Structure 1
Amino acid sequence: MMDKFPLPKSIDEIRVLVVDNQALIHDLAKSALLELGVRQVSSAQNAYHALRLCEKFQFDVVLLAFNVSNDKDGFHLFEELKHNNYISDKTTVVFLSAETSASLVNCIIELQPDDFWVKPLDKKRIQKRFEYLINVRRKLHKVMHCMDSADYSAAIYHAERGLTDSSLVEYHPRLKRMIGECLLQLREYGSAERYFTNLKNDYDHAWVNIGLVRSLFKQDKVLEAELLAEDLLQRPDTRFLTYDLLAQYYISKEQFDIAYEQVKAASKLAPRNIERNKKLWDLARLNRDKYGQLDAVQNMAKYAKNSIHDSPELSLNVVRTMVDLAASVTGAESEKLQRKIHKEILAVDTSDTSEPSLGNKLLVIKARVESIKNNKKSAEKMLKDNLNKEITMNLEDNLDLMKAYHELGMKEECLAILDSLRSQLEGDTLVSQVVDEYLKREEIERREIKFTTKELKEMAAVNYRENRILPAFNNLCQAMTLSPQDKSIAFSLLKVLVHINKKEPLDDAQFSIAQTAADLLNKDTLVPGQQQKRDEYLHALGMSEVQADAG
């Protein structure tokens, strides 16, 4: 039995690492821990030093300040320590911070440390919390060992025994939480629902409510889950976790428009998570929100800086997304974006990188920019003469090349890439599911629509001026398919439909398109001039703003 459940280390065997850029914190922590009997306390004043120490020693407890130093913050350092297996589920991790903003607390909670200590610290509080955390490891070690080994049934058995031990009363809430986690891991969702429902009578903690919502969604009890989620979105301690849970559920059900709104809300509350920002980017692409795409990739590049996620690829994705946007807008906005793109290309082109495929990637981006400028022959020549097809390209590289071919009207080359792209998706993750759905829609649109959003808008404008109203309408319908969040297209569609309606009443399909355009313009805030123009169009079509909203 001793071999199966090895006892935790004694207090004098525990090795502690304190990571903070304030000497006072090191002195205070070391003094407090020495009085408790801790004999091995190491100090690091920056992330670099912390990593070097972790290469030499295996620490049992890490006290980690969120603001470490300029080289890497605590969030990034924690990710790197975990990535390198310097800390594991058996390591007790405590975050330290003087800042308690909601976004920072959400980000820390998401990392699931064992505790969060708010500065300024004092000796008595350090000792009290440290003793509690060490006792959790010592007194609940059988349950924690089983959970670390993914033996959840055994973990429940030992946790339930612990609940009958009066000496563990202080730890009963933690044991109950462990039981709930194990039931979810075992996929016993009906049992989990009953368990969390009963717990709610005594505990109104965030983990109880979130566990209950998760178990309801897993059983597709959507109405019950959504009702409870509505209440939890009003609570500061559950809002962020609820948005994240809702997003996971709606993605699993392929309700990507609803999932997108949930992920946007979660990202605002905890903006540093790179994987969530990647999911946000994928959902923005799927929902054809090009401004949302740009926001997501810019956040990824911003928050990945100095982290294990940092790479030249993130900067390239920002440029690519700017090109996507520039290819969908016209006039001054497109020209402004093109100037920004030129600066970003120069910055990436002159950066110190040994990546052999960088030249290929930049070539595709430059060709797309030339295409936006209507220098299509030059762009096509660039690709035919200089593209190295022997270099292996990743999913994003091939997506960008597919767009370049499409913008140049090279349909066969475009569709050939589409046919091979799905093989690059790995696994059955939520992200791969979103990207796969995106590729399905891309394939339909690339096969049926030959032009970019920008080109279709320009063609519609020419056709409208030449009084070719139905061709203008068809151009705009295709443009709206590619960019369904573009308000300028919605305005143009309503203007054209007003013209059509003067000659003969709109048919059902045309009225439905008018409804879609009106809904988009009613959803977003418009300046007074735009509001007036929208209302004029809706009045001319016999549609009030209320009717549009009702649609």
Structure 2
Amino acid sequence: MQTKTLENQRVLIVDDQRAFQLMFKGVLYSMGATNVAFAPTGEQALAKSSNVDFDILFVDYHLGVGKNGKQLLEDLREKKLLKPHSIFMLVTGENSVPVVVSAVELEPDDYLVKPFSQSVLRSRILRIQKKKIHLAALFQALYDNNTEQVIELCQREISEAGRYQQFCKRVLAESFLNSHRYTEAEQVLLGCLDQRRNGWALLLMARLCFELQRFSQSQELCDEAIEENRLFAEAYDIKARCFLAENDAEQAFSCIQAATEIAPFSMQRQYLYMDIAHALEDTNAKVLASKQLYEITRRSIRQDVVHLLNYIRSIIAAATLSDDPQQRNRYLQEVAIALQRARRDDNLIREIDFDLFEILCQARLDSISGQQFQAKKTYAAVAEHAETQQQVLPDTVFLLNQIGEFEQADRLAALIDPALQADPVLQRLLSEQQRHNQAQQQHFSQLNKDGIRQYKEGQHLAALALFEQALELAPMNTGCALNVIQTSLQLLKTRSQGPGGNLLDRCKKAFRIVDNMPLPEHHRKRYQELLSQFTQLQQEKRR
């Protein structure tokens, strides 16, 4: 079998340092390369790869502003721009554990730390080329996502005791595991572990045991893998999942913290971190995970404005729940910084009405600060638009619940697009607010119902007291404000005086809650009738 050299190979160097580009080009030319292109950014590398099928890509991990090398690799794979025969090598001077392990977890063809010698570079390239040539059909099947062919080709290489049988055993076990063919996966892995208890086999067996709910065995395998290599972040992930499945959130959190310290740049890991933080009701940890998801995806193929929105929503939710004024102020400052920073990222926010999102966020912050009238006034100014914009409809629901407009919030929550609600972070934020408000909402509803009953029985003073108690729980609730007005007017008509003095002043205060607000038809008619009665009573009082 003849291996390729660098002759006739299309090579792309992705590095933002011009000096390194020229130096590295000289090294490659001395190794026989004649066709070398450059790209200083991940974005330019992606554009070039859309037009040329490069045979070898040497990519620096840190590329200044924009995508880094890891994100470029994700993009190339997602867009099918990295062909089965292509070699992708990360090249960097960065040797910190989080960067190295996070990069290696994505499994580039190789990872080179600067400085490196020409002989090391040559041997690495030749080794990968040999593997790509020998297993060309398998890499093509993997590229095509043809699982059955992957399994067949792996089994053939293993049966022939080929040079790459260990690699094929790993791919075969992963294929069985991902296809939920657990019995076959276990047979392959047991055979591997009988020969040698290497890290990848231990981790795949641990994953298998987790899927089969054999949690103790899974954790033992993870511990064995960690003993072999303390930087196996995935082993900590699996242990965390096991502990979470056994409702031991404290142990799960300890494990996921260890994993994120080793390799924090994984979306799946951050989602798991958030799951565990929710189980512990650790507000700060949820904010940190949400921020990390936003940072990870900002420049990647998974860039989505929803990660930014959820990060800001998470901070506001944390501020809402905080009993510590200093901590609440820190959250409010973080919201302001996040909004200001997002303003500079036009590519990310152009797909939504960010002005509207910012207005709704400010109204929520006003509500947290006790400025309920200002929050509702802000909502009234944008309500018609806010209720028709799917991306910010959840924020409208959050705001309405905060100011006590529970009925309106429930109506709009039912209109949120199911695809939007499917986002796990947003889903949790919505359910969390609902759970947090549940007792308050039930108490409010009961007071309001009791007030209506007392009103119908002619006990207007008792009814008014109940309605005002309800408004303390939901200070901007339109329906309850109208109940206060109606009851106060009824007391005025009968010349009764309630406790606390002037009933006309009570009416005025309640009207402030309703005036200039967008109202459902039944509330609008009732408001107009009560306003007419109130105006008439005022005129009579003046006479």
* TM-score, length basis structure 2: 0.69
- The answer on whether the counterparts of 1:232 and 1:238 sit within 8 Å (CA) in structure 2 is no
Within the alignment, does 1:267 sit opposite 2:224 as a pair? no
How far apart are residue 90 of structure 1 and its match?
Answer: 4.6
How far apart are residue 302 of structure 1 and its match?
Answer: 4.0
Structure 2: stretches of 5+ with no match in the other structure: 444-472, 474-543
How far apart are residue 415 of structure 1 and its match?
Answer: 2.5
Within the alignment, does 1:385 sit opposite 2:378 as a pair? no
Letter in 1 for 2:359: L
Within the alignment, does 1:116 sit opposite 2:107 as a pair? no
Q: 1:404 to 1:301 in 2, by over 3 A?
A: same
Structure 2 CA distance, aligned partners of 1:351 and 1:71? 11
- The answer on whether the counterparts of 1:16 and 1:40 sit within 8 Å (CA) in structure 2 is yes
Structure 1 CA distance, aligned partners of 2:62 and 2:44? 15
Q: 1:180 to 1:68 in 2, by over 3 A?
A: same
Match of 1:359 in 2: 355
How far apart are residue 439 of structure 1 and its match?
Answer: 5.0
How far apart are residue 133 of structure 1 and its match?
Answer: 0.7
Deviates more, 1:241-250 or 1:56-65: 241-250
Secondary structure in 1 matching 2:206: helix
- The answer on whether the counterparts of 1:367 and 1:382 sit within 8 Å (CA) in structure 2 is yes
Within the alignment, does 1:450 sit opposite 2:446 as a pair? no
Within the alignment, does 1:143 sit opposite 2:134 as a pair? no
How far apart are residue 116 of structure 1 and its match?
Answer: 1.1
Match of 1:462 in 2: none
- The answer on whether the counterparts of 1:210 and 1:238 sit within 8 Å (CA) in structure 2 is no
Alignment of 1:475-514 (within 5 A): none
Count, aligned residues = 439
Structure 2 CA distance, aligned partners of 1:217 and 1:156? 23
Alignment of 1:3-42 (within 5 A): 12-22=7-17, 26=21, 30=25, 33-34=28-29, 38-42=33-37
Within the alignment, does 1:57 sit opposite 2:52 as a pair? yes
Structure 1 CA distance, aligned partners of 2:52 and 2:343? 40
Q: 1:170-193: CA deviations, max 9, x gaps? A: x33222222222322342212222
Structure 2 CA distance, aligned partners of 1:49 and 1:192? 41
User: Which residue, 299, 319, 325 being the options, matches 1:331?
Assistant: 325
Deviates more, 1:12-21 or 1:402-411: 12-21
Match of 2:127 in 1: 132
Letter in 2 for 1:220: Q
Match of 1:548 in 2: none
Structure 2 CA distance, aligned partners of 1:77 and 1:154? 28
User: Which residue, 198, 205, 223 being the options, matches 1:205?
Assistant: 198
Structure 1: stretches of 5+ with no match in the other structure: 1-6, 453-477, 479-551
- The answer on whether the counterparts of 2:273 and 2:289 sit within 8 Å (CA) in structure 1 is yes
Q: 1:188-219: CA deviations, max 9, x gaps? A: 21222232122123333321111111122222
- The answer on whether the counterparts of 2:390 and 2:416 sit within 8 Å (CA) in structure 1 is no
Secondary structure in 1 matching 2:390: coil
Match of 1:243 in 2: 236
Structure 1 CA distance, aligned partners of 2:338 and 2:288? 16
Secondary structure in 2 matching 1:327: helix
Structure 2 CA distance, aligned partners of 1:350 and 1:53? 27
Q: 1:360-383: CA deviations, max 9, x gaps? A: 212221111111222212212221
Q: 1:285 to 1:187 in 2, by over 3 A?
A: closer
Match of 2:96 in 1: 101
Q: 1:211 to 1:318 in 2, by over 3 A?
A: closer
User: Which residue, 366, 371, 375 being the options, matches 1:370?
Assistant: 366
Match of 1:86 in 2: 81
Q: 1:259 to 1:405 in 2, by over 3 A?
A: farther
- The answer on whether the counterparts of 1:293 and 1:321 sit within 8 Å (CA) in structure 2 is yes
Deviates more, 1:136-145 or 1:180-189: 180-189
- The answer on whether the counterparts of 1:17 and 1:41 sit within 8 Å (CA) in structure 2 is yes
Letter in 1 for 2:207: R
Q: Which is greater in Rg?
A: 2
Q: 1:196 to 1:184 in 2, by over 3 A?
A: same
Deviates more, 1:227-236 or 1:276-285: 276-285
How far apart are residue 400 of structure 1 and its match?
Answer: 3.2
Structure 1 CA distance, aligned partners of 2:156 and 2:393? 56
Sequence identity, in percent?
19
User: Which residue, 390, 399, 403 being the options, matches 1:404?
Assistant: 399
How far apart are residue 384 of structure 1 and its match?
Answer: 2.2
Secondary structure in 2 matching 1:116: strand
Alignment of 1:414-493 (within 5 A): 414-421=409-416, 423-424=418-419, 432=424, 442-450=433-441
Secondary structure in 2 matching 1:449: helix
Match of 1:176 in 2: 169
Q: 1:409 to 1:185 in 2, by over 3 A?
A: closer
Letter in 1 for 2:167: R
- The answer on whether the counterparts of 1:19 and 1:44 sit within 8 Å (CA) in structure 2 is yes
Structure 1 CA distance, aligned partners of 2:202 and 2:439? 47
Q: 1:54-111: CA deviations, max 9, x gaps? A: 2331112211111234444222333333344332555321111222222112211222
- The answer on whether the counterparts of 1:28 and 1:122 sit within 8 Å (CA) in structure 2 is no
How far apart are residue 153 of structure 1 and its match?
Answer: 4.0
- The answer on whether the counterparts of 1:18 and 1:64 sit within 8 Å (CA) in structure 2 is yes
Match of 1:472 in 2: none
How far apart are residue 442 of structure 1 and its match?
Answer: 4.7
Letter in 2 for 1:147: L
User: Which residue, 187, 208, 216 being the options, matches 2:209?
Assistant: 216
Q: 1:26 to 1:444 in 2, by over 3 A?
A: closer
- The answer on whether the counterparts of 1:285 and 1:438 sit within 8 Å (CA) in structure 2 is no
Structure 1 CA distance, aligned partners of 2:246 and 2:412? 28
How far apart are residue 327 of structure 1 and its match?
Answer: 1.9
Secondary structure in 2 matching 1:200: helix
Secondary structure in 2 matching 1:41: strand
Structure 2 CA distance, aligned partners of 1:48 and 1:346? 24
Secondary structure in 2 matching 1:391: coil
Q: 1:35 to 1:113 in 2, by over 3 A?
A: same
Within the alignment, does 1:288 sit opposite 2:281 as a pair? yes
Supply the RMSD in Å over aligned alpha carbons: 3.7
Letter in 2 for 1:376: Q
Structure 1 CA distance, aligned partners of 2:419 and 2:141? 37
How far apart are residue 343 of structure 1 and its match?
Answer: 5.3
How far apart are residue 134 of structure 1 and its match?
Answer: 0.8
